[in-house]
A and B are shown apart, each in its own frame.
Chain A
Amino acid sequence: MTVINSSQKETLRKVLRAIRPYRVYLIGSILLAAVTVVLTLYIPILIGQAVDHIAAPGRVSFDKLKPILLRGGIIIVITAAAQWVMNICNNRLTYNIVRDVRRDAFRKIGVLPLSYIDAHPTGEIVSRVIADADQFADGLLMGFTQLFTGVLTIIGTLGFMLSVNWLITIVVVVITPISLFVAAFIAKRTFTMFRLQSETRGEQTALIDEMIGGQKVVQAFGHEKAAISRFAEVNERLRRYSLRATFFSSLTNPATRFVNSLVYAGVGVVGAFSALRGLLTIGQLSAFLSYANQYTKPFNEISGVVTELQNALACAARLFELIEEEPQTPDADPAEALGSVDENGVRRAEGRVEIENVSFSYVPEQRLIENFNLKVAPGQRVAIVGPTGCGKTTMINLLMRFYDPQKGAIYVDGTDVQKATRKDLRSQYGMVLQETWLKAGTIRENIVFGKPDATEDEMIAAAKASHADSFIRRLPQGYDTVIGEEGGGLSQGQKQLLCITRLMLALPPMLILDEATSSIDTRTEIRIQRAFAKMMQGRTSFIVAHRLSTIQEADIILVMRDGRIVEQGDHESLLKRGGFYAELYNSQFALGRTDA
């Protein structure tokens, strides 16, 4: 058995803290488990006593038998009741804790810094919240109960056995560990085979993934036969490893059962001799035999439980790591107000943005933005241009406070945004990103996402303004059509139109728009363009610009390259400068691509 190390101890402490509110169930479960084990072990003794009163014809004492059977009946009912309540305690304990940790984890997701979310694959975090939480609760709590009952059963059995006959007890104690050795021996041998099996299985899955995923290319290039022969090779290897792993691992059960049978035979023979010498009654022998049958079982289980517990602890560690992850820096308290209250009682900024001496990088080794200054007057348009992958989203990250700069400050209407609440800041901005994110739910729910109290008319007006109304109406259930996760079922262009509608309805004083419309046909693009233009009227806007017209009309152009801002100015002055912007512009123009 492995000793628990310090980090596991730390995890264990956190687990105990999570259990604390439900300690009643835990204590109940432990007590009832103890009751169940002791009573369960008592039954064979009772049966043994009963058997002793059924010795031979004429030597059956019904008077003594009756109370024993009656007692047995009562104990059976108590045991069953204890078992039942224990099961319920265990369920409550497990499910309550899973519910709690999931809730904590989800709350944490809401306040995690974006840097954490960006750096961790979605699937990994999801698996912590879902799979790890289950594994932790099932493995740790059930494993614990199993371990507890197992150990208790062993101790109890030994106790009962010793109280009756020490010689047979020794026989049992000596033979039993063999089964542990056998199990460990086989496990060690099969480990390599399991590793080979899972490696090969992984290899095959990767091949399947690739070939079936690229099936159309496979067929286009007549590569079917080659694919099959590659598959057959891996498949044959997998068959061989799989056979070995399956076969050898399935030896454990018969082998430990054999040891069990040895114990049984040993108890039978030694017991019989003791009985001959009058040291043991027949009934006691039968009790011993039934102990011998169940005594080795907890041993076999415990070795499995220990691995399970270790695994569960690892899951718990991952889960708590997420729950305890450092959240984003808290909002300033007291926070400064941003903008002024309008006639409807809504706080609205004028849209004056000043960036002062801002330095920012994602990783310290790679400096990106340094001492950046920018003044944007209310209503101005700022175009962000540059080749793909040049880090245009960095600007969005800073403006929305998804990331905070390492140095300098950003002011909106003269208020340092780090001194205002994120909520206040973000409600001043409307954002449409290239990656269209929609919620699983109805179209309606998605549109009113930013303004849940919008009226039907307001919603339809917004949809008309963004040219989305006509396609929504043509959907099977109109505004109540359910769309799947990630907007499944809609085309890219339709999703983008919905994102714009969502913004149209809320319509905050400042805008952040990503123009990228590469997967949309040009006619839809024009519609989206018109929707954008309508929104930008009188609003300070930051646009990741792809179209010449947008760029030319912008008041300020930020030219980015390799994550840095390399130039800044208006179209004319930048062209005159003959720098990177001029190069970029000329290369596109010369090739007749004005829609870059």
Chain B
Amino acid sequence: MKKLIVYLKEYKLESILGPLFKLLEASFDLIVPLVMAAIIDKGIAAGDKSMIFKMGGVLVALALVGMICAFTAQYFSAKAAVGFSSKVRHALFSHIQELSYADQDHTGTATFITRLTSDINQIQNGLNLALRLLLRSPFIVFGAMVMAFTVNARAALIFVVTIPLLSVVVFGVMLVSIPLFRKVQSALDDVLGITRENLTGSRVIRAFNKEAAEAEDFDTKNETLWNLQLYVGRISAIMSPVTYVIINAATLVLLWSGAIKVDRGILTQGQVIALVNYMSQILIELVKLANLIIQINKALACANRVQAVLDIEPSQTFGTLGENTTVLPAGAFSLTPDTVVAFQHACLTYPGAGAEALTDINLRVMKGQTIGIIGGTGSGKTSVINMIPRFYDATDGEVRVEEQPVQYYLKEALRAKIGLVPQKAQLFQGTIRENLLWGNPDASEEALQKALEISQAKEFVDQKEGGLDAVVEQNGRNLSGGQRQRLTIARALVRQPEILILDDSASALDFATDAKLRQALEHLDPKPTTFIVSQRTSSIMHADQILVLDDGAQVGLGTHEELLEKCEVYKEIYYSQFPKKEEVGA
């Protein structure tokens, strides 16, 4: 919470003025019963008509000034709440941009999105309500009591008893029912879960003739929810009748003791009415306060969650090595000048993971070479290439790009060298052109066309209405998987990268297109150093070096022929895809 308060500083004035004007309005509210008492005791009893008019005027004036105060208060509160949440949202969004891949994995995308949207909206509403009402309601409750004291101290003692009694009931019911509401919510989640499951699994469920069993399961969950709802309902049903009894019983007591005091001349009739009015104000405000506290609690929980994300320290620091500075490589090994990428005993353990994802990777890649990386699912192929742009840092050993350890580079400088085509073909809302320009904002029209040609995307882009300016919907959902994939390849090519990384990027392409793409990449000039990650031997068998991974360990490095001869895992993978004659049909 503390860190978030900082963002309210700019709205300090508003945050003070808002509640202040609200209190002003409340004080006018509190005067009203006294004015009414004056009308009754002085106006009616004495037959003073001008007095009645004057007091009537006072009432209208109080209402008008009260309304203006309220308007002012609403404005300042809204300004502070909206401004605050807007600042927090910006800070949070910017903060997330700073986080490394490991930090993101740890928290999860869905969490970030909820924090940025619904959580901050809740905070905004909570803050707005708090600024307006958090002081007002207690102020009226205690104000009414204080006013009662000014009327008559003995009679006010009834308030002293009633207020705590009411508070116990209102907050007691609230306290008991909140955890129960949480239970109801989780029962509802169960009902939702099975409903969703029966829709996504409708084919399987029907294939196994399980409709009736599922319906029974649903009934159990539905009944559980129903029982819980009734139980909670029974508890909250108590609140309004009990408070009603308390407040009205107090009023009756007030009338009786008032009668005694009027009889003795200690109180006037009008004052009794004023006291009764104060009593009725209390209940409304207490109920409001209880609801308000629920809301604020929710907002506070959201604030803490947002704070937790802001508290994540970016786990990586970057060096200063850019294009114009040179730092001599430190470290225990030297490289030949044309080594573009080097792994030296590189190991990687993901945060929170029990075992190493990669163990002792050693690799030297020369300028212009093509490197194939192959292995089963979960063998660590993507982990290897993720270490080159420093998405993840080696937990042991070293990774170098152009002789320098990757940690020496400025983030931008390092990543500018690399064109990455990730496994998931992700595009962004905008036009095709805008998406391609992600690769290089200054790219010429010619460069874009060239990239489309190489990535085999030109044909379908030209067919689109508007060509390069055709609209790409959110997440590129108006394009097919294959089209998206080709555009992500084009986007990487627009960079004219020194290092091109294709992470299983041809999976959605048909065979002919895949082959054409590989050919076109082969003829790039200047030819980037290229990493191709794949599960298919056919995609990488012509590479200059092939890195074979098994369970995170480097089990082979060499050309196709070399590996076929001496690498068991490679052989196994190869023959699973190109069955030896005698094994066909096994």
Let me know if A122 and B474 touch, CB within 8 A.
Answer: no
Docked CA distance A520–B280 (Å): 70
Point out the residues of chain A lying under 8 angstroms from B240, CB to CB. Answer: 83, 87
Q: Chain A residue with minimal CB distance to B124?
A: A242
Is B192 a contact partner of A130 (Cβ separation < 8 A)?
yes
- Contact call A213/B475, Cβ cutoff below 8 A: yes
Given contacts A265-B56, A439-B197, contact A387 B192 (CB under 8 A): no
- Contacts A53-B259, A210-B474, A251-B71: A84 and B391 contacting too (C-beta < 8 A)? no
Report the minimal beta-carbon distance from A361 to chain B, rounded to whole angstroms: 20
A506 within 8 A of B: yes
* A81 adjacent to chain B (CB < 8 Å): yes
Chain A residues in 8 Å Cβ range of B192? 126, 129-130
Judge whether A592 is part of the interface by a CB distance below 8 angstroms.
yes
Contact A429:B538 (CB < 8 A) given known A73-B249, A214-B428, A524-B377: no
Taken together as a complex, chains A and B put the C-alpha atoms of A125 and B197 apart, in Å, by 12
Tell me which of B203, B214, B225, B238 has the highest count of chain A C-beta atoms within 10 A of its own C-beta. Answer: B203
Chain A interface residue number, banded: 35 or more
Q: Indicate if B218 sits at the interface (CB-CB under 8 A).
A: yes
Q: Which of A560-596 contact B (CB under 8 A)?
A: 587-588, 591-596
- Of A15-23, A269-277, A409-417, the segment with at least 4 beta carbons within 8 Å of chain B is A269-277
Of A57, A439, A552, the contact of B263 (CB 8 Å cutoff): A57
A103–B220 Cα gap in the complex (Å)?
10
**Given A210-B429, A216-B422, A549-B584, are A80 and B242 also a contact pair (CB < 8 Å)?**
yes
Interface centre among A109, A257, A433 (most CB of B within 10 A): A109
Give CA–CA (A99, B229) in the complex, Å.
10
Q: Nearest chain B CB to A328's CB is how many angstroms away?
A: 10
Which chain B residues numbered 528 to 576 have a C-beta less than 8 Å away from chain A?
A: 535-536, 538, 572-573, 576
Collect the chain A residues with CB atoms within 8 Å of residue B538's CB: 591-593
Give chain A residues whose Cβ lies under 8 Å from the Cβ of B412. Answer: 222
Known: A209-B474, A254-B67, A553-B585. A220 touches B511 (CB 8 A): no
State whether the Cβ of B49 lies closer than 8 Å to any Cβ in chain A: yes
Is the Cβ of B82 less than 8 Å from the Cβ of A246?
yes
Is the pair A222, B112 in contact by a Cβ cutoff of 8 Å?
no
Is A122 a contact of B196 with CB atoms below 8 Å? yes
Which residues of B from 393 to 442 have beta carbons under 8 Å from A?
411-412, 415-416, 418, 420, 422, 426, 428-429, 438-439, 441
B128 proximity list for chain A (CB < 8 A)? 246, 250
Interface centre among A107, A201, A552, A595 (most CB of B within 10 A): A595
Known contacts A54-B259, A106-B195, A251-B71; is A261 also within 8 Å of B62 by CB?
yes
B89, CB-defined interface residue at 8 Å = yes
Asked if B206 CB lies within 8 Å of chain A CBs, one says: yes
Complex CA distance for A58 and B262, rounded to whole angstroms: 8
Given the interface pairs A208-B117, A254-B67, A265-B59, the reply to whether A525 lies near B576 with Cβ below 8 Å is yes
Say which size band chain B's interface belongs to.
35 or more
Q: Residue B255 contacts which of A69, A204, A214, A524 (CB distance < 8 angstroms)?
A: A69
Among the stretches A152-160, A284-292, A456-464, the one at the interface with B is A284-292
Does A311 interact with chain B (Cβ within 8 Å)?
no
Question: Contact between A596 and B511 (Cβ–Cβ < 8 Å)?
Answer: yes
Tell me the complex Cα distance, A559–B197, Å. Answer: 33
Interface pair B263/A58, CB less than 8 Å apart? yes
Query: Which chain A residues lie closer than 8 Å to B215 at the CB level?
Result: 106-107, 110
User: A220: which B residues are within 8 A, CB to CB?
Assistant: 389, 391, 415, 418, 420, 422
Are A431 and B230 CB-contacts (below 8 A) given A219-B101, A246-B81, A587-B511? no
B210-A221 in contact (CB<8A): no
Q: How far is the CA of A283 from the CA of B539 in the complex (A)?
A: 95
Bound-complex Cα distance A255 to B240 (A) = 27
A296 within 8 A of B: no
Tell me which residues across on chain B come within 8 A of A98, comparing CB atoms.
Answer: 226, 229
Q: Which residues of A contact B411 (CB under 8 A)?
A: 222
A263 and chain B: residue at smallest CB distance: B63
A528 to chain B, nearest CB (A): 11
- Residues of B near A84 (CB, < 8 A) are 237-238, 241
Cβ-defined contact, A117 with B272, below 8 A: no
Query: What is the count of residue pairs linking A and B with beta-carbon distances less than 8 angstroms?
Result: 401
Whether B82 contacts A276 by the Cβ 8 Å rule is no
Proximity bits, A222-235, B CB within 8 Å = 1, else 0: 11101110011001
**B43 is an interface residue with CB less than 8 A from chain A:** yes
Residues of B within 8 A of A427 (CB): 209
The digit string for A53-86, where 1 denotes a CB below 8 A from any CB of B, is: 1111110101001000100110011011101100
**A378 interfacial by beta-carbon distance below 8 Å:** no
Q: Does A376 contact B (CB under 8 A)?
A: no
Chain B residues whose C-beta falls within 8 Å of the C-beta of A103 in the assembled complex: 218-219, 222
> Is there a chain A Cβ closer than 8 Å to B463's Cβ?
no
Whether A239 touches B86, Cβ cut-off 8 Å, given contacts A43-B248, A272-B40, is yes
Name the segment of B91-99, B167-175, B296-304 touching the other chain. B91-99
- The answer to the question of A442 belonging to the interface, with a C-beta cut-off of 8 Å to chain B, is no
A221 touches B415 (CB 8 A): yes
A141: Cβ under 8 A from any B Cβ: no
Given contacts A54-B255, A99-B222, A525-B576, contact A439 B377 (CB under 8 A): no
**Given A95-B233, A258-B64, A450:B208 Cβ within 8 A:** yes
Cα-based distance from A210 to B255 in the complex (angstroms): 65
C-alpha gap A518/B482 in the complex (Å): 14
Which residues from A are CB-within-8-Å of B218? 103, 106
Q: State A70–B428 Cα separation when bound (angstroms).
A: 74
Chain A residues near B223 (CB, 8 Å)? 99
Given A227-B97, A261-B62: A526 in contact with B230 (beta carbons within 8 A): no
Shortest beta-carbon distance, B296 to chain A, in Å?
A: 17
B188 touches A130 (CB 8 A): yes
In the complex, the answer to whether A595 meets B577 with C-beta atoms within 8 Å is: yes
Residues on A with beta carbons closer than 8 Å to the beta carbon of B55: 268-269
CB distance A57 to B116 under 8 Å?
no
Contact with A along B292-319 (1 / 0, CB 8 A): 0000000000000000000000000000
CA distance in complex: A125, B577 (Å): 42
B43 touches A272 (CB 8 A): yes
Nearest B residue to A244 by beta-carbon distance? B78
Residues of B within 8 A of A215 (CB): 96-97, 99, 104, 109, 112
Render B31-63 as a binary contact track against A, CB cut-off 8 A, 1 for contact.
010001001100110010100110110011011
Interface residues of B in 79-123 (CB under 8 A from A): 79, 81-83, 86, 89-90, 93-94, 96-99, 101, 104, 109, 112-113, 116-117, 121
Q: Are the CB atoms of A88 and B242 closer together than 8 Å?
A: no
Residues of chain A contacted by B132 (CB below 8 angstroms): 250
> A443 near B: Cβ within 8 Å?
no
Q: Residues of A contacting B99 with CB < 8 Å?
A: 215
Please determine whether B199 and A122 come into contact, CB atoms closer than 8 angstroms: yes
Contact sample, A vs B, 29 pairs, CB 8 Å cutoff: A60-B260, A73-B249, A76-B249, A79-B241, A80-B244, A84-B237, A91-B230, A95-B229, A99-B225, A110-B198, A114-B203, A126-B199, A207-B429, A221-B438, A221-B439, A223-B438, A246-B81, A264-B32, A265-B59, A269-B52, A272-B40, A272-B52, A273-B49, A282-B44, A289-B36, A293-B280, A402-B203, A591-B514, A594-B579
State the 9 A-B residue pairs at the shortest beta-carbon distance, nearest first.
Answer: A261-B63, A521-B376, A254-B70, A87-B237, A91-B233, A265-B59, A269-B56, A80-B241, A57-B265
- A residues contacting B by CB (< 8 A) are 43, 47, 50-51, 53-58, 60, 62, 65, 69, 72-73, 76-77, 79-81, 83-84, 87-88, 91-92, 95-96, 98-99, 102-103, 106-107, 109-112, 114, 117, 122, 125-126, 129-130, 201, 204-224, 226-228, 231-232, 235-236, 238-239, 242-243, 246-247, 250-251, 253-255, 257-258, 261-262, 264-266, 268-269, 272-273, 275-276, 282, 285-286, 289-290, 293, 387-388, 400, 402, 422-423, 426-427, 429-431, 433, 437, 439-440, 449-450, 452, 485-486, 491-493, 506, 518-526, 549, 552-553, 587-588, 591-596
Known: A51-B272, A91-B237, A526-B576. 6 other contacts (CB 8 A): A114-B202, A114-B203, A268-B39, A269-B56, A289-B277, A440-B193
